[in-house]
Amino acid sequence: MKMSLRTRMLLSALLPTTLVAVLLTTVFLLRAIDDLEQGLQTRGTAISRQMAGAAEFGIFSGQRGALSVLTESALHIDPDVRGAAIVDARGAVMALSGALNQSIWPALARIDGARLRPDVLLFVEPVMRSSLPVDDIYGGTTAAPEVSQQLLGYVVVELSLREVSGKSERLIAIGGLIALLGSVLGGWLAQRIARGMTNPLLEASEVVGRIGAGDLTARMATRSAGALHSLAAGINAMAERIGVTQDELRARVAEATADLRQAKDAAEHATIAKSHFLAAASHDLRQPLHALGLFVSALAQSKAARQEPELVAHIQSAVDALQNLLDAILDISRLDGGNVVPSIGCFPLSHVLDRLGQDLSLLAAQKGLRLKLRPTQFWVRSDEKIVERILLNLVGNALRYTRTGGVLVSSRRRRDVLVVEVWDTGAGIPEHAREGIFEEYVQLANPERDRAKGLGLGLAICRRLAGLLGIPLGVRSRPGRGSVFWIELPVVPAGLPRELPSTESALSEGVVDPARIRGTVLVVERDALVRAGMQQAIVSWGGRVLLAADREEALSRCRESDPPPDLTICNLRLPGRGSGIELAQELRREFEGMAVLLVSADVSDEAQTAARNAGFALLKQPVPAGRLRAALRHLLEVRV
């Protein structure tokens, strides 16, 4: 619960005052109570010692009556004396007055105020007999006489602490009252101070809130601001300046927004043009490269190769490097353009590892390295070809930058994921460079840009592929010891059905084999070419299609079909009266449970809001085939 400003200021002023009052009162009380106890201690010691001096002759002479008078007089000397006794050296009581706790006395010896019970102090003083020998003046002795002492008995006095406890309680009550009065006085003063400060602050907060809400006429009353007069004047001046410059700011914001919109449109057009250029140029670039490779292969078999073998090798190396660079750039372009659609399925990771061993074992042997792929029995859920491409790049990089030792590919399960790790014994990566290695054209150990050490695009492609699959990719490294690159793949739980994927690679020229769908789909579209295109695509994916150009035809097709369609793809704009949303709602009312997917070239805010309020998904035309297929599969699975 949040406290108000006034409450916080009140507490800020009250708490120190109260704390000081409590501390001072506590110190005073402790000092006063200690003085009371010390006074009682002093009186008890004095009484016991006085009685010990007076009882010496009575104990020696055995006058019990005199000793009784002495103990009785002790009860009248001090009201806190609850009892007194005189005991001989053997422990026999010779005189006793008052209520004593003889049964719990400790061994008798000099005791100055021992606590016998919580409310009783015990004082014991020995009674000694002093003997002074008489000098023999006639014998001529000059040595000083020695005083001998003999224990005759003990004086025992018990003092009650009840009076002291009562005085202590009264002192505590008085101290608490003083502290309370101090707190009340401090609170009254703090409230006066807080009221004088918080009222202007609350008014300032209200005025600032109104200004923030757009009310530029809000002002503070400077006369009632008191010590905060300068704050009130500053807020009023701020409101004046805001009112003057608001129109100018709006004009600048509108101008900046228009510039940003133009820059955004230009960037989008540039990105689209780049993707179109690369897509169109890929075939034209690959054809001469392919021919060049054939020419180099023929040249290697000619007589000229025997005369200039190094020249032919350099030409072949240049062609390979150019081919690798073109493939990497096109892969990055297709990934950035969203043209790669992953095909998610379940597969055993061992199949991927087997193919990695076949592809890279020769490279490892040529470099004199050990390549070990630890087998695993786990199945994972992802795109098999994309996972293979990621691991192929990671293991290839590890082999390329490792001079001695080897490379290990291992996997271990951690809860619901399988962590696949690629270990190498290379030079390692400094901590400050571990994030930058995933950027394009970044190579730590290749300042001379030697193409034999790679192009610096493999890890950039790996990061994009991992982002496409939605899986983490990371690295651990110790300079001089090696590095570990890892990815995490979702594990298929035991007992779930597992199917080997039959799709082609998501990176093979952008063509993805569509997953099968089941069910009947009604396509309501006024454009005949669009209807034909959707029919061909859905049929190739395994579905059954009904076609309609308008509302009446759509209702007719549904009523004639047995069973009715499972899903309707409807254009937002239809010929005649009514929209696609109204038709979809009508179909859903008549054919309960039918799934609906809306498509439209117009995806304005109004259209999106209308579709969202109706509970229908809306895709913008033209719809990519992969996205359309994914939407159909999702809606049909949800319906089931």
Residue 155 sits in a domain whose CATH number is 3.30.450.20
Percent of the chain surpassing pLDDT 90: 8
For residues 535-547, average pLDDT:
84
What's residue 501's pLDDT?
Answer: 45
C-alpha pair distances (Å), 51 with each of 46, 63, 123, 337: 9, 15, 11, 111
Residue 112 has pLDDT above 60, yes or no: yes
For residues 73-80, average pLDDT:
83
Reading phi first (left if > 0) and then psi (alpha if -120 to 50, else beta), residue 480 is in: left
The DSSP secondary-structure symbol of 218 reads -
| Three-class SS of 351-379 | HHHHHHHHHHHHHHHHCCCEEEECCCCCE
| More confident site: 486 or 169 | 486
- Residue at 512 is within a domain: no
Query: Do 98 and 81 form a contact (C-beta atoms < 8 A)?
Result: yes
What's residue 193's pLDDT?
Answer: 65
Residue 138 has pLDDT above 60, yes or no: no
What's residue 277's pLDDT?
Answer: 66
The tally of domains found in the chain comes to 4
Q: Are residues 308 and 439 in the same domain?
A: no
What's residue 347's pLDDT?
Answer: 92
What SS3 state is found at 449? coil
- The residue length of the chain stands at 640
Query: Do 425 and 482 form a contact (C-beta atoms < 8 A)?
Result: yes
Compute the distance between CA of residue 583 and CA of residue 589 in angstroms, rounded to an integer: 10
Lowest mean pLDDT among 181-190, 403-412, 506-515: 506-515
DSSP assignment of 55-115: THHHHHHT-HHHHHHHHHHHHHH-TTEEEEEEEETTS-EEEEEE---GGG--S-S-EEEEE
What's residue 449's pLDDT?
Answer: 43
Q: Which residue, 283, 286, 360, 275, is CA-closest to 322?
A: 286
Q: Are residues 434 and 352 in the same domain?
A: yes
Cβ neighbours of 229 (radius 10 Å): 14
What's residue 14's pLDDT?
Answer: 66
For residues 423-437, average pLDDT:
79
Percent of the chain surpassing pLDDT 70: 68
Predicted confidence band of residue 507 (pLDDT cuts 50, 70, 90): very low
Residue 16 has pLDDT above 70, yes or no: yes
Q: Are residues 84 and 212 in the same domain?
A: yes
What's residue 504's pLDDT?
Answer: 37
| More confident site: 636 or 146 | 636
- Residue at 317 is within a domain: yes
What's residue 321's pLDDT?
Answer: 64
Give the CATH number, domain containing residue 597.
3.40.50.2300
Lowest mean pLDDT among 231-240, 414-423, 438-447, 457-466: 438-447
What's residue 195's pLDDT?
Answer: 62
For residues 608-637, average pLDDT:
80
Predicted confidence band of residue 489 (pLDDT cuts 50, 70, 90): very high
- Residue at 513 is within a domain: no
Compute the distance between CA of residue 14 and CA of residue 566 in angstroms, rounded to an integer: 72
Q: Are residues 6 and 51 in the same domain?
A: yes
Residue 584 has pLDDT above 50, yes or no: yes
- Residue at 166 is within a domain: yes
What's residue 327's pLDDT?
Answer: 65
- Among residues 199, 216, 233, which one ends one of the domains? 216
Which residue intervals of 512-550 are DSSP H helices? 528-540
Q: Are residues 332 and 350 in the same domain?
A: no
What's residue 408's pLDDT?
Answer: 93
Predicted confidence band of residue 407 (pLDDT cuts 50, 70, 90): very high
Residue 444 has pLDDT above 90, yes or no: no
Give the CATH number, domain containing residue 356.
3.30.565.10
- Residue at 238 is within a domain: yes
What's residue 505's pLDDT?
Answer: 38
What's residue 455's pLDDT?
Answer: 55
What's residue 177's pLDDT?
Answer: 84
What SS3 state is found at 274? helix
Compute the distance between CA of residue 155 and CA of residue 49 in angstroms, rounded to an integer: 8
Parallel, antiparallel, or unpaired: how do β-strands 81-88 and 93-98 relate?
A: antiparallel
Q: Are residues 118 and 203 in the same domain?
A: yes
489 token code pair: 């793949």
Compute the distance between CA of residue 134 and CA of residue 418 in angstroms, rounded to an integer: 110
Q: Are residues 350 and 440 in the same domain?
A: yes
What's residue 68's pLDDT?
Answer: 86
Predicted confidence band of residue 506 (pLDDT cuts 50, 70, 90): very low
- Residue at 515 is within a domain: no
- Among residues 163, 184, 216, which one ends one of the domains? 216
Half-sphere exposure of 245 (CA within 13 A, CB side): 9
Q: Which residue, 50, 44, 156, 45, is CA-closest to 94?
A: 156
Which residue intervals of 308-416 are DSSP H helices? 309-336, 349-366, 384-400
What's residue 133's pLDDT?
Answer: 59
DSSP assignment of 499-520: ----PPPTTSTT--PPPP--SE
C-alpha pair distances (Å), 388 with each of 95, 170, 350, 503: 109, 87, 11, 14
323 token code pair: 């081919």
Compute the distance between CA of residue 196 and CA of residue 62 in angstroms, rounded to an integer: 84
Tokens 């009484």, located at residue = 47
Lowest mean pLDDT among 71-75, 247-251, 265-269, 298-302: 298-302
The rounded mean pLDDT for the chain is 76
Residue 574 belongs to domain spanning: 520-639
Compute the distance between CA of residue 402 and CA of residue 43 in angstroms, rounded to an integer: 94
Compute the distance between CA of residue 145 and CA of residue 315 in angstroms, rounded to an integer: 131
Q: Are residues 40 and 98 in the same domain?
A: yes
Compute the distance between CA of residue 187 and CA of residue 203 in angstroms, rounded to an integer: 23
Beta strands, E only, 459-594? 473-478, 482-490, 520-524, 544-548, 567-571
Residue 132 has pLDDT above 90, yes or no: no
- Residue at 495 is within a domain: no
Query: Do 341 and 508 form a contact (C-beta atoms < 8 A)?
Result: no
What's residue 117's pLDDT?
Answer: 81
Q: Are residues 158 and 26 in the same domain?
A: yes
Residue 291 has pLDDT above 50, yes or no: no
pLDDT digits (tens, 9 = 90+) for 317-342: 676 666 666 666 666 666 666 667 78
Q: Which residue, 258, 250, 252, is CA-closest to 214?
A: 250
- Residue at 141 is within a domain: no
Q: Are residues 22 and 34 in the same domain?
A: yes
Lowest mean pLDDT among 40-44, 66-70, 92-96, 209-213: 209-213
Query: Do 428 and 478 form a contact (C-beta atoms < 8 A)?
Result: yes
For residues 85-109, average pLDDT:
84
Residue 269 has pLDDT above 60, yes or no: yes
Lowest mean pLDDT among 150-159, 171-180, 266-275, 374-383: 266-275
What's residue 513's pLDDT?
Answer: 41
For residues 11-15, average pLDDT:
67
Query: Do 48 and 111 form a contact (C-beta atoms < 8 A)?
Result: no
Residue 292 has pLDDT above 70, yes or no: no
| Three-class SS of 98-147 | ECCCHHHCCCCCCEEEEEEECCEEEEEEEEEEEECCCCCCCCCCCCCCCC
Q: Are residues 200 and 294 in the same domain?
A: no
- Among residues 339, 362, 387, which one ends one of the domains? 339
Q: Are residues 255 and 349 in the same domain?
A: no
Cβ neighbours of 155 (radius 10 Å): 29
Tokens 């000619």, located at residue = 302
